[in-house]
Amino acid sequence: MSVLTLTIDEHPVSAKPDETLLDIAHQNDIDIPTLCHLDGLIDVGACRLCLVEIEGSPKLMPACTTRPQEGMVVRTNTDRLKKYRKMIIELLASEGNHQCAVCVVNNHCELQNLAYAVGLVYVRFPYLYPKKTLDATQESYIIDRDRCVLCTRCVRVCSEVEGAHVWDVAGRGISCEIVADMNQMWGDSDACTSCGKCVMVCPTGALIKKGANVAEMEKETDFLKYIVTARQKQEWVGEYLKEH
C-alpha cells in the first residue's frame, strides 16, 4: 500500500490512505479530544469534538472521519478549534440534565473529563433543563436520557458488534433521543440479549447497571478491541470454513 506524507501540528508524519486523521494523530502521540469515536466502532463524526483545520479548506473537518492526502497540512489545536470545542461541551451540558454529585459515573465520566480538558468553568448558555425520560424496565440496566450526549456509541455497538440492533435515534433537535426498538420500553425489547455492551461503551451516566450507587460505576471498553480483533483474524471460525 502506498504511503502518504502530511504535516500535523508542524510534525511531518507518514500515513496509509485508509487510516483516518485521528488514527494518524494518535500514532504520533498527538492528542485530539473525542467523544463519539471509540476504537472498534465505525466512526460517524457525530460529536464534532475532533474537528481539525486543514490548510486551504475553509471548513473544519472531523479527524475521525477524514482520510489523509499527500501534502495535507493539518492543525489540531488552534485557538479557533479550542473555542469551538469548549462551546460544544457547553452546549452538551446545557442540553442535558447533569447533576454530577448524584450521578452513578461521577469521577469516571468522559463528559466530565472533556469539561476539565476544555476548562469549563461555567456554561455561558442558558440551561434548557429538558424533560427527558428514564427507562428502568430492562432486567439489569437503566437508560437515563438526562445524561445522554447522543454519541450513538450504544446504537453502533449493539448493531455492529452484538448484532441485535436494539437502539436507534428518534426525533430532532432538543427532542432527539435514543429509543429501544420502534420506541418501546427497553424491557419489552425481544431483540435485547442483555449483553451489557451498550452500557459499557456509553461515555456518560446515561446507560448504567442497576444497583450501582453514586460514583460507583466505571466503564470498561477494552472488551471491544478483543472482539473486533478476534473477528478480523477469524478466531472463532472453524478450520474448515477458513480453508474454504
Partner 1 sequence: MQKVDSKPRVATVWLGGCSGCHMSFLDMDERLLELADRIRLVYSPLADVKEFPRDVDVTFVEGAVSNEENEHMAHIVRRNSRYVVSLGDCAVTGNVTALRNKHSNVEIIHRSYVELADKTPSLPIQFNTVAQLLPQARPLHEYVNVDAFLHGCPPTADQIWFAVNELLEGRVPVFSTIYLRYG
Site for partner 1 in 32-91 (CB under 8 A): none
Shortest Å distance, C-beta 38 to ligand FES: 9
Per DSSP, the three-state class of 156 is: helix
DSSP result, 66-91: ----TT-EEESS-HHHHHHHHHHHHH
Residue 64 touches ligand FES, criterion: CB under 6 A: yes
Q: Which stretch binds partner 1 (CB under 8 A): 11-19, 78-86, 112-120, 186-194?
A: 112-120
Shortest Å distance, C-beta 48 to partner 1: 22
Residue closer to ligand SF4 (CB basis): 24 or 151: 151
Q: Give the C-alpha distances (Å, rounded to integers) separating 107 from 85, 101, 204.
A: 21, 9, 10
Shortest Å distance, C-beta 188 to ligand SF4: 12
205 binds, among ligand FES, ligand SF4, partner 1, none (CB under 5 to 8 A by kind): ligand SF4
Q: Please tell me the number of Cα atoms within 13 Å of 237 on its side-chain side.
A: 11
Q: Which stretch binds ligand FES (CB under 6 A): 47-55, 115-123, 182-190, 217-225?
A: 47-55
For the record, the C-alpha cell of 180 comes out as: 429501544
According to DSSP, the residues that pair with 144 across neighbouring strands are 134
Residue 48 touches ligand FES, criterion: CB under 6 A: yes
Q: Which stretch binds partner 1 (CB under 8 A): 17-25, 104-112, 166-174, 196-204?
A: 104-112
Q: How many residues in the shown chain lie near ligand FES by CB under 6 A?
A: 12
Residue closer to ligand SF4 (CB basis): 77 or 106: 106
Residue 107 touches partner 1, criterion: CB under 8 A: yes
CA 61 to CA 144: how far, in whole Å?
31
Does residue 224 contact residue 201 with C-beta atoms inside 8 Å? yes
Burial state string for 165-185 with b = 16 or more CB within 10 A and e = fewer than 16: ebbbeeeeeeeebbbbbeebe
CA 189 to CA 143: how far, in whole Å?
13
Residue 49 touches ligand SF4, criterion: CB under 6 A: no
Site for ligand SF4 in 85-104 (CB under 6 A): 98-100, 103
With CB under 8 A as the contact rule, the residue among 1, 3, 121, 182 that binds partner 1 is: 121
CA 241 to CA 34: how far, in whole Å?
38
Per DSSP, the three-state class of 183 is: coil
Residue 68 touches ligand FES, criterion: CB under 6 A: no
Residue 77 touches ligand SF4, criterion: CB under 6 A: no
Q: Which stretch binds ligand FES (CB under 6 A): 23-31, 44-52, 200-208, 232-240?
A: 44-52
